[in-house]
């Protein structure tokens, strides 16, 4: 069974649209994250949630809004999509605290046209 699953795997949409990416983990982890990987493969954290509470919010435009209905889910909603939002978005989870590492989802490739 997939430990951290994201849907959809691919998403192609037009500028100005609103879209959501869903993430679910069945590992019982307390902390979930969203990372963005750009075309040069740079990975940067966007958000982290611990038990449904926002812990980290890096410098991300307000158009990005994470939502965590429970500790097993962390969804990412993006409003008014722009060309520069095209990237691969990775969800991850961890037990929290350094040393446990993360378990990553397989990524969602978002292409804005």
Q: Does 44 bind another protein (CB under 8 A)?
A: yes
DSSP state of 99: T
Structure tokens at 13: 């949409």
Residue 47 beta carbon to another protein: minimum distance, rounded to whole angstroms: 10
Q: Does 104 bind another protein (CB under 8 A)?
A: yes
Which stretch in 15-23, 35-43, 60-68, 69-77 sits in contact with another protein by CB under 8 A? Answer: 35-43
The three state secondary structure string of the chain is CCCEEEECCEEEECCCCCEEEEEEECCCCCEEEEEEECCCCCEEEEEEEECCEEEEECCCCCCEEEEEEECCEEEEEECCCCHHHCEEEEEEEECCCCCCCCEECCCEEEEEC
Binding another protein by CB under 8 A: which of 52, 60, 65, 96?
A: 96
Q: Does 28 bind another protein (CB under 8 A)?
A: no
Which stretch in 13-21, 60-68, 75-83, 102-110 sits in contact with another protein by CB under 8 A? Answer: 102-110
- Which residue ranges make up the site for another protein (CB under 8 A)? 4, 31, 33, 40-45, 48, 55-56, 90, 92, 94, 96-99, 101-107
């Amino acid at each position: 069974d997939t430990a951290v699953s994201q849907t959809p795997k691919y998403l192609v949409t037009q500028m100005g649209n609103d879209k959501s990416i869903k993430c679910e983990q069945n590992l019982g982890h307390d902390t979930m994250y969203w990372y963005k990987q750009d075309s040069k493969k740079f990975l940067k954290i966007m958000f982290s949630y611990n038990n449904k509470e926002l812990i980290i919010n890096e410098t991300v435009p307000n158009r990005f809004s994470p939502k965590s209905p429970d500790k097993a889910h962390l969804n990412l909603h993006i409003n008014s999509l722009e060309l520069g939002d095209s990237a691969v978005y990775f969800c991850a989870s961890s037990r929290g605290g350094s040393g446990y590492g993360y378990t990553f989802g397989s990524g969602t490739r978002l292409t804005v046209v």
